[in-house]
Structure 1
């Protein structure tokens, strides 16, 4: 079972459903935790997501997944808000959240650090630009494992 193919398929399948509610599809992840598979779909909207929002999207996506049956194993479907520490993935995420605190996890250390926390200044080409320890730092997206808004 190819996890990234499942995530991509479910992401593409979810876009029109989530957009029909005027919500944003933030992320899709398919992960194994404690011998159980979880398909998590993160949605957001201005003012935040409610339990009813999650329930409405979950019902439609669940029906669509039952119809096409792309996942061979049993799994739990969860639709939720990305939370305060939402991941930034799309170029528009970096533009939208300029000026906010972010935590960047790197595949390999830069100056001895694998986690950089700073203020997001934006995206320039393939570089994430952050203010870190009073300096402007350009980090190639290919060297980044994940970027999340920081609760700090």
Structure 2
């Protein structure tokens, strides 16, 4: 049997998240004044919609009410998606970010911002944008080289689907 509250919560919540065809990304319990906050982050290859999060929140809330996983203290339950600038820590995160601009911090030092083109078991295929009229260049980054990676928000990116249709 699990010993920590986090493990008990994971055992309770993970089957419910899987049944909703989502991936459990994170469970976090924090203090917010006199109350605690239980934050559950979920995602999928298609993303986690607001409706899916709301329904999952109802299901999890009911299950928590039936169990003693949160104890007797009051708590607030928050179920949501990881957000736009989420860190990439699992291979599935990289797969979901294909086509997006990603900032890589490398173990050897230095930083690379590049468009993620694809991944395989050994690493990541990227395209580093050209600077001052130069053409973009391909770069292969192995998973072992990456210290941190995060999706970058692009406000002025051209819609490539519209360009391809034109």
What is the TM-score with the length of structure 1 in the denominator? 0.62
Where does structure 2 lack aligned partners over 5 or more consecutive residues? 129-136, 155-166
Structure whose residues are more often strand by fraction:
1
Instruction: Work out whether 1:77 is the aligned partner of 2:77.
Output: yes
Aligned to 1:30: 28
Q: How many residues align?
A: 138
SS in 1 for 2:18: helix
Change (3 A) 1:11 1:123: farther
Q: Is the Cα contact below 8 Å between 1:41 and 1:78 reproduced in 2?
A: yes
SS in 1 for 2:114: strand
Instruction: Work out whether 1:13 is the aligned partner of 2:12.
Output: yes
SS in 2 for 1:119: strand
Alpha-carbon deviations, 1:23-82, whole Å to 9, x = none?
x124123153665643222234537512x3322211211222233322456432101122
Aligned to 1:150: 152
Distance in 2, matches of 1:77 and 1:116, equals 37
SS in 1 for 2:124: strand
Change (3 A) 1:54 1:140: same
Q: Is the Cα contact below 8 Å between 1:116 and 1:132 reproduced in 2?
A: no
Instruction: Work out whether 1:131 is the aligned partner of 2:126.
Output: yes
Structure number, greater radius of gyration: 2
| RMSD, matched Cα | 3.5
